[in-house]
Amino acid sequence: MRHQVCIIGGGPSGLLLSLLLRRAGIDAVVLERRSRSYVLSRIRAGVLEQGLCDILREAGVGARMDAEGFVHDGTIITAHGTTVHIDFKKLTGKSVMIYGQTEVTHDLYDALDRIDAPIFHEAEDVAIHDANGDAPYVTFTHDGKNQRIECDYIAGCDGFHGVSRRSIPDAVRREFEHVYPFGWLGILSETPPVTDELVYSGHERGFALCSMRNANLSRHYLQVPLTDQPEDWSDEAFWAELKLRLPPHLAEVLVTGPSIEKSIAPLRSFISEPMSWGRIFLAGDAAHIVPPTGAKGLNLAASDVYYLSRALISHFGGDGQPLRDYSATALARVWKASRFSWSMTRMLHEFPSEGDFLAKMQAAEVDYLAHSPAAQTALAENYVGLPY
Ligand code: FAD
Ligand code: DHB
């Protein structure tokens, strides 16, 4: 088989890249290790920056998001007895969209189905060959048969645990990592949101976040020790702890109910440089991970895909410079979003080994945020997403 671009990984990065390339007449194929239903069952991000919404619209997959998503013009940050409303719209002129990653993935699959775009699900033992040569190819097993795809370029969109990043030699690759000493326990429940905006709550018992998917579907998170397992937390224990970590006026109105999903994700900051080598280009979680505070993971994947799709389209149109610049262009935005995610995480979580000094710094930071329009603008500008 021959395709111009072989995309490894059918998460949001790989599916969106495939759609953008195919719409520009470039022949791309996607290899995904899991089944389609498995990919669609993963509950992940929920906040889309305006830049991502615009790309989805441009790719012809924005209609359901615009009809069913919720535009949020602000968010609430509360910690150390101070509550701040960050008015994105007033401060930056921009908003974010509440629309689940699962729904985005669904819409991308539907659009790819309509144009008969090739996707191999349950592709096993994917291996990259000659990525640094003129004739790269990818091998894998599908339905028990060995397959080989010859291509011009390989897009590594296979997430943190994929094979693409590791195909860049150790001597070339540099990894930067910060692991946080806690995780987030998340639940999804068919209950109304506690208020009409997201609530980020720093508390001495640990961070909490109240988010949502729609008027009767809430997504809540609690900071938990890395040693905890989802089974350690009954629904009752989760709700009781969440109430303790919210300001009283919100705890009083919190509606509880059975969870329909419960999972724990560890927090890390990770960036691998460069994001390209020879004919392989990384995008999304394959190249970087941010802690979820600030909702940047999916949005960063989207900005990588934006740069990479344009660079490939430009290359096949005769101008190779944007493709040569891809790694540097993408990394400049990645580092800034990582800095923001790290600083939000630092401001709002309990770091048990760091003692009272950090707690005082956090209180001072939230107090500064409450009284400084400049600080609020800086937070809002990062939250709604830096320009592409
Ligand atoms: P992924 O979504 O990881 O997709 C990669 C795909 O590649 C997967 O489908 C995988 O099966 C496939 N793959 C892997 N290895 C191979 C292989 N060898 N061969 C073929 N295919 C392969 N972000 C937020 O902003 N907010 C959140 O609340 C949030 N919650 C998260 C919760 C969890 C548990 C995780 C893991 C991430 C969360 N994120 C969140 C981050 C966000 O979901 C990711 O940034 C986003 O999914 C990145 O998309 P991606 O397509 O780059 O990677
Ligand atoms: C959600 C996740 C986040 O990490 C975040 O900062 C905001 C919202 C969510 O899953 O809804």
Atom of ligand 1 nearest to the CA of 162: 15
Q: Provide the residue ranges of all domains of the chain, joining segments of one domain with +.
A: 5-44+101-177+269-344
Q: How confident is the model at residue 168 (pLDDT cuts 50, 70, 90)?
A: very high
Average pLDDT over every residue of 44-55:
95
Residue 56 Cβ contacting ligand 2 at under 6 Å: no
Q: Does 43 have pLDDT greater than 90?
A: no
Average pLDDT over every residue of 31-52:
94
Q: What is the rounded distance in angstroms from the CA atom of residue 307 to the CA atom of residue 51?
A: 12
Nearest to 96 by CA among 71, 75, 78: 71
Atom of ligand 2 nearest to the CA of 292: 4
Q: Which two tokens stand for residue 96?
A: 């974010």
**Residue 355 pLDDT:** 85
Tens of pLDDT, residue by residue over 354-384, are 989 999 999 999 999 999 999 999 999 999 9
Residues designated as active site: 72, 200, 292, 296, 383
**Residue 328 pLDDT:** 98
Domain 5-44+101-177+269-344, what fold? Answer: FAD/NAD(P)-binding domain (3.50.50)
**Residue 352 pLDDT:** 87
Nearest to 302 by CA among 161, 168, 101: 101
> With pLDDT > 70 as the criterion, what percentage of the chain qualifies?
100
What ipTM was assigned to the predicted interfaces of this complex?
Answer: 0.97
Average pLDDT over every residue of 298-307:
98
Distance 269 CA to ligand 1 centre (A): 14
Tens of pLDDT, residue by residue over 78-130, are 998 999 999 999 999 999 999 999 999 999 999 999 999 999 999 999 999 99
Give the ligand with the smallest distance to the CA of 97: 2
Length in residues, the chain:
388
pTM of the entire predicted model: 0.97
Average pLDDT over every residue of 171-175:
98
Q: Does 232 have pLDDT greater than 90?
A: yes
Q: How confident is the model at residue 216 (pLDDT cuts 50, 70, 90)?
A: very high
> Any residues with Cβ below 6 Å from ligand 1, and which?
8-14, 31-34, 39, 44-45, 101, 123, 126, 157-159, 161-163, 265, 284-285, 292, 295-298, 301
